Structures are given as C-alpha cells and as structure tokens.
Amino acid sequence: MTKYNKQTRLLAAIDCIIFGFDGEKLKLLLIKRAFEPAKDRWSLMGGFVQPNESAEDAAYRVLSKLTGLEGVYLEQLHTFSKPQRDPMERTISITYTALIDILRYQKQITEEFQAEWFLLNESPELIFDHQEMVDMAKEHIRHKAAMYPILFELLPEKFTLPHVQSLFEDVYETTFDKGNFSRKLLSTGFLIKQKDKDKTNSKKGAFYYKLDKKKYQKNFNTFQHFIRNPKIVKKANGEVVGEQ
C-alpha cells in the first residue's frame, strides 16, 4: 500500500506575516494576489508546501523569493484550518511571523509581486482569513516582546534610544515615560554606546548604540517582563489603562 485508503486530498500552504520598522513606524508588507480567486486583492505573501520540503523550508523559500533576505527572524505562529477558509480548495495554512529592518532591505524587496508597505492601522482589506492572521501576529509580537528582546531584529545596526522607544510605543500603541524606558533599556546590558550622535532632530543629538550580539544571544531568555503588562487596553476615548 503506497497511500492511505479513503482519505481526502488536503493542501498545505504557508503565509508569512512580515513586519518591518522604518525608524519611525511599524509596518506590514503585503502583495497583490496574481491569480484567482481574489486576484488583484491585497494578500500576505504565501505559497504551497512542496512534497520535498518542510513547512519551515517553505516559509524561508517564500520569504527569500520576496525579499532576497537570508537569516531573517522567522517564527511559526499558528495553523489556520477552517474547512471553508479558501474558497478554491480545502487548504490549511501554517503562518510564520518575520521581522525585518525596512531601511536596510528596502531595495531588495522584489517588484515581481507588487509588494507594498502599509501602516498597521491603514492596511487595506485582505483576502480570506489573512486579517485574522495579522491580528494574531500583532498580539503575539506584543506578548513575546515583553519577555524577549525580539524587537531588536527590526532595528538597524546603529540606533538611538528614541528609535527603540518609538518602536516599542508603536508595537504597544501607547506611550512610555522617556526616563524610565531608557533606564530599563540600558539596564539589560545589551547595548554598546557609540561615540557618534544622530543630530537629525536636534543640535544636541542622541548617541547611537549598537547591540552587543554576544550578550544578546547568550542572555536572550533573561529579558523577562521588560514591559510589565504587555496587554494594553484602551478606553473609547483613547486613554490607556494598565501598568506600563
């Protein structure tokens, strides 16, 4: 016997939720779907898992084809498997979250797929259950970033403390006290202060920092509760409730 008897064909796909930071805002990379159903509508980048590859290999293949990037932070998120999620054929989708520095890799994003960066709160309507995927990925990043220093994957080689704070504030959709945030960030021991400054926004400028990659890799799991309450709740008037 070479196949299981009386079993129905089932396709396995992967979808990549690609977040990027441009130094000011967190964004989502989307593509124009090139085939039916839902042709020319906005979609996450994805593809089918081939017979000779794992889901992870397929995710890296898709990411590399779109961005030309290697060694990008990539993490499996969830499997979406509702029977009617794809109107064409029964397909389960294994989703992956990727984090990249937009400024570093902007020119490598291929034009083949009509890829475009969107602000998270301004992204267009997505096909199928892709918005549900994005929403889940956003919540996952918020909780993961409170425990582990994954957001550094979105930063360039050199960055300022205001850059880091802007990133965290965008991820959590709130504001943090500048002094407390800087103090907690420096206390991690992950940052190496540089001699030069970024004077883009003021004459005084802000010192650049680099990530101490050895300490980052060695102590990745010790970044506990950098954000003490990662679940940010907003009232109708926009007031933030919860401990920061």
Cis bond leading into 37, ω under 30°?
yes
> What's the confidence (pLDDT) of residue 239?
43
* Confidence grade of residue 238 (pLDDT, cut at 50, 70, 90): very low
Contact 17, 137 (CB under 8 A): yes
**Distance separating alpha carbons of residues 225 and 186, to the nearest angstrom:** 14
Tell me the sheet residues that pair with 157.
none
Of 243, 208, 209, residue with least CA distance to 226: 243
Alpha carbons within 13 angstroms on the beta-carbon side of residue 175 total 5
Q: Where are the alpha helices (DSSP H) in 16-153?
A: 55-67, 102-105, 130-147
Structure-token pair, residue 182: 């800087």
Summarize pLDDT for 148-159 with one digit per residue, the tens.
889 999 999 999
> What's the confidence (pLDDT) of residue 147?
85
Rounded alpha-carbon distances, angstroms, from residue 114 to 40, 110, 168 = 10, 8, 29
Contact 77, 17 (CB under 8 A): yes
- In one-letter notation, the amino acid at residue 33 is R
Domains of the chain (ranges plus CATH)?
A: 11-146 (3.90.79.10), 148-241 (1.10.10.10)
* Number of helices and strands in the chain (H, E): 6, 12
**Most confident region among 57-61, 202-206, 234-238 by mean pLDDT:** 57-61
Between 7 and 194, name the one with better pLDDT: 194
